[in-house]
């Protein structure tokens, strides 16, 4: 197995807090990424969503995957699968094979008016339903040729070590996990 290295553009431009690097030109970000030696980059919120324009802008970098904000706390797996189709189409067009999923329904990470104590929490009995839905989506994405990487995040339902343990216990083998060391509480 060959390991290839890609990077998230958050080190240059923060999607959650646009005042942190939001004015950095994308061309500068991609130049820096190439100069450092990375082969690819994760899809950022400011990137064009049209494949031809994105390919030109990437200048030879691969799009290794991209964050998708999911809503499985408030909708079933079939509705989520329907909702993710535009994102999946972009990833396919770019030759990606990793689908990064973060559950963001009811999340507080983007709302500074809500303290982190307002982060959504699941009761013990709710993890099974959430995990079953997540596994169904991951199984679907696997059938489309994608590795599923769940991204835990500050202010979301999967944030703390106990949340991560409960999530992993509630999901099936098709659900991979992205360890975000910046948000692991």
* pLDDT score of 20 more than 90: no
In a domain, 183, yes or no: no
What does the pLDDT read at residue 165?
94
Q: What is the mean pLDDT of residues 84-93?
A: 98
DSSP 3-state of 62: strand
In a domain, 28, yes or no: yes
Residue range 128-172, pLDDT digits in tens: 999 999 999 999 999 999 999 998 777 778 888 899 999 999 999
In a domain, 185, yes or no: no
Give the integer Cα–Cα distance in Å for 163 and 185: 10
DSSP 3-state of 89: helix
What does the pLDDT read at residue 155?
76
What does the pLDDT read at residue 115?
66
In a domain, 111, yes or no: yes
What does the pLDDT read at residue 108?
61
Give the integer Cα–Cα distance in Å for 35 and 144: 33
The domain of 39 spans 8-178
What does the pLDDT read at residue 160?
86
35, exposed or middle or buried, with CB in 10 Å at 0-12, 13-18, 19+? Answer: exposed
* pLDDT score of 114 more than 90: no
This prediction has a pTM of 0.89
What does the pLDDT read at residue 182?
67
φ, ψ for residue 79, nearest 5 deg: -65, -40
What does the pLDDT read at residue 15?
65
In a domain, 47, yes or no: yes
User: What does the radius of gyration of the chain's CA atoms come to, in whole angstroms?
Assistant: 17
Q: How many domains does the chain have?
A: 1
CATH of the domain at 157: 3.20.20.150
C-beta separation of 103 from 71 below 8 A: yes
In a domain, 184, yes or no: no
C-beta separation of 133 from 150 below 8 A: no
Give the integer Cα–Cα distance in Å for 15 and 177: 21
* pLDDT score of 185 more than 80: no
In a domain, 56, yes or no: yes
In this structure, what token pair is assigned to residue 74? Answer: 């408030």
The per-residue pLDDT of the chain, averaged, comes to 88
In a domain, 160, yes or no: yes
DSSP 3-state of 123: coil
């Amino acid at each position: 197995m060959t390991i290839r290295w890609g990077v998230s553009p958050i080190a240059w431009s923060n999607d959650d807090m646009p005042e942190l690097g939001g004015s950095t030109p994308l061309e500068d970000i991609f130049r820096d990424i190439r100069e450092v030696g990375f082969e690819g980059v994760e899809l950022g919120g400011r990137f064009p969503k049209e494949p031809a324009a994105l390919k030109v802008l990437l200048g030879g970098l691969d799009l290794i995957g991209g964050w998708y904000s999911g809503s499985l706390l408030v909708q079933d797996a079939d509705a989520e699968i329907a909702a993710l189709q535009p994102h999946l189409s972009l990833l396919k067009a770019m030759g990606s094979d990793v689908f990064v999923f973060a559950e963001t329904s009811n999340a507080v990470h983007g709302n500074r008016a809500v303290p982190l104590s307002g982060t959504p929490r699941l009761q013990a009995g709710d993890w099974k339903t959430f995990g079953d839905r997540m596994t169904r989506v991951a199984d679907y994405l696997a059938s489309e040729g994608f590795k599923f990487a769940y991204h835990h995040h500050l202010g979301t339902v999967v944030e703390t070590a106990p949340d991560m343990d409960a999530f992993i216990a509630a999901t099936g083998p098709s659900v991979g996990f992205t360890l975000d060391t910046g948000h692991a509480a």
